[in-house]
Amino acid sequence: MKKREIAGMALLLIWLMGSIVADKKVTETSPIKTDAVEVNTQNGMIPEGIFVEGMDLSGMNIEEAETKVKEWGEDYLTRDFTFFYATGKELTVKPIDVGITRQESGLINELTEYGNKGNVVLRYKVKKDLSKTPLKAGVSFNVNEEILRDVFAEQKEVWDTKVQEPYLTRENGYFVVNPGTEGTELAMEAALAQIVAFFTENVPHEQSYMELPVETIPCIYSEEMLGEVGDILGSYSTSYKTSGKARSTNLENAAKKINGRTVYPGEEFSTISLMLPFTEENGYMEAHAYSGGRVIDSIGGGVCQISSTLYNAVLLAELEVLERYHHAMIVTYVPLSQDATVSESSGLDFVWMNNLDYPVYVECYTTKGKELIVNIYGVEMRASTRRIEYVSEELSSESAKGEAIYTDSEKPAGFIEIQAAHTGHTARLWKVVYENGKETGRTVINESNYRSAPRSATIGTQTDNPEVSRILEEAIATNDIDYVREIVHKIADGTL
């Protein structure tokens, strides 16, 4: 009995040794190395319990499995994939359109080797494990980060939200501090890393969406800081009592657009950008304005009185002037060199910057008595013993010469508008500083050159009457405004 048991055990030992030798012989004749481990791929079939992207590849050979996975990858790249952003916005794309392509990774070869590695005991163990817990793998993709970066850089302009700093309003003579709102910004580098990780890892791509990481941008200024604003740093007023309805309307409309602005430290204030567009839809009317050394009618005419009044308030507040232009000809509502013109067609703007440590508030309004008032509020840091004033100095003047007659084919014959002559001036503006009532400094702020312009008349020439047209042409040729005026009045009242 004992001899039989010994003989059986010997046979079993011989069989096991034979299996190991056989296994080693196959490995030596057809070696495939993965992670420095010798493997056996004798049968070339994928073991039971292998899934890729939810597809059961059990029992398939390499060609069958590769075909199935390739078809899935091509289909997946043309499906909709949605990126969600924290503010509720989203972007739906096809992966292939944003630089994502299928990676030729050798996945199928690796899966074919799975369960065929090592000796019989190891292979048996792997296959036993697969029967209990299937292996679920995914397809790897290549990600072109440059293309993705360009796509998201364009989306950021739509997705990102700007910080809304706390701001001031003025109600019934008192300041009200309105709370700010934090901004959001796409965390570009983190988003790209997240996308690359998702598409390049060998894990199933079960979801067709991704929530992108964002960064919160906090407010720079506190409500407490704005609560300190309340001192008048600079105040200036001008009158428009002689202005007609159209020009008055333009001033009152533009004042509302300037009023109520909180300007933070380091922030630039563009006057014309707040006034635009100069259209009837935006509340403006046609009124007199300067252009090319003459007076014309223009939508929004007269708004330079707003920028000029603001200019003087800014000077008194000692804020930094970045861009200022004088008029072509003098204006009467401020002294020489204390004007600031704006013009959309000429690209002229009045721009200043808050160079202080606290925000400032711009108040701009008109009164029933046709006064235009600009107040700039802030936190007064200047010594109470210090005072400033601005002094206009005329350097030279030039009288206008001759007369000028202009024709307007859109105005009817019988129309005439006469403009008085403008004297030319060269002027300089001084800033004078006083300490305890004594002058301690004097600085040149600007020099302005205003051209002279002759007395002029604009004559309407639109008529269907050849005789009237001939008489007008002869009168205009004399270049005598008073004579032309007589002819025009006769045409208007029908006595010609």
Least confident of 78-82, 117-121, 360-364: 117-121
pLDDT band at 110 (very low <50, low <70, confident <90, very high): confident
What is the CATH number that goes with domain 54-104+138-227? 3.10.20
What residue has token string 């428009």? 240
Peptide bond preceding 277 in cis form (omega within 30 of 0):
yes
Provide the pLDDT for residue 26: 32
* Whether residue 39 has pLDDT greater than 70: no
Q: For the segment 429-461, what is each residue's pLDDT rounded down to a tens digit? A: 999 999 999 999 999 999 999 999 999 999 999
Q: Give residue 361's identity as a one-letter amino acid code.
A: Y
- Burial readout 46-62 (b: 16 or more C-beta within 10 A, e: otherwise): bbebbbbbebebeebee
Mean pLDDT across 282-310: 92
Query: What separation in angstroms does the CA of 186 have from each of 83, 99, 173?
Result: 12, 19, 41
Provide the pLDDT for residue 296: 82
Q: How do the domains of the chain map onto residue ranges?
A: 54-104+138-227, 231-382, 387-496
Compute φ and ψ for 143, nearest 5 degrees: -125, 120
pLDDT band at 121 (very low <50, low <70, confident <90, very high): confident
Percent with pLDDT over 90 in the chain? 73
Least confident of 127-136, 274-283, 363-372, 417-426: 127-136
Q: For the segment 7-19, what is each residue's pLDDT rounded down to a tens digit? A: 444 443 443 344 4
What residue has token string 């004399």? 478
DSSP count for the chain of H helices, then E strands: 12, 29
Provide the pLDDT for residue 223: 96
pLDDT band at 366 (very low <50, low <70, confident <90, very high): very high
Mean pLDDT across 464-484: 93
Contact yes or no for 433/388 (Cβ under 8 A): yes
Cα(181)–Cα(474) distance, integer angstroms = 69
Least confident of 272-286, 301-315, 411-425, 428-442: 411-425
Q: Closest by alpha carbon to 68, among 80, 81, 54, 48?
A: 54
Contact yes or no for 432/441 (Cβ under 8 A): yes
**β-strands 268-270, 351-353 pairing:** antiparallel
DSSP string, 92-131: EE-GGGGTEEE----HHHHHHHTT-BSSHHHHHHHHHHHH
Cα(411)–Cα(405) distance, integer angstroms = 14
* Whether residue 33 has pLDDT greater than 80: no
Least confident of 117-121, 261-265, 412-416: 117-121
Angle at which helices 188-200 and 145-159 pack, to 10 degrees?
A: 130
Q: For the segment 47-68, what is each residue's pLDDT rounded down to a tens digit? A: 899 999 999 999 899 889 889 9
Cα(441)–Cα(432) distance, integer angstroms = 6
Contact yes or no for 458/403 (Cβ under 8 A): no
Provide the pLDDT for residue 29: 28
**β-strands 360-366, 100-102 pairing:** unpaired
Mean model confidence pLDDT for the chain: 88
Provide the pLDDT for residue 27: 32
Provide the pLDDT for residue 318: 98
Provide the pLDDT for residue 115: 67
Residue 450: helix, strand or coil by DSSP?
A: strand
pLDDT band at 21 (very low <50, low <70, confident <90, very high): very low
Cα 319 to the center of its chain, rounded Å: 25
Q: For the segment 353-363, what is each residue's pLDDT rounded down to a tens digit? A: 999 999 999 99
333, 417, 291, 284 alpha-carbon torsion, rounded to 10°: 70
Taken in order 225, 230, 234, 240, the sign of the CA dihedral is positive
Provide the pLDDT for residue 42: 43
Q: Give residue 372's identity as a one-letter amino acid code.
A: L
Provide the pLDDT for residue 30: 29
* Whether residue 476 has pLDDT greater than 90: yes
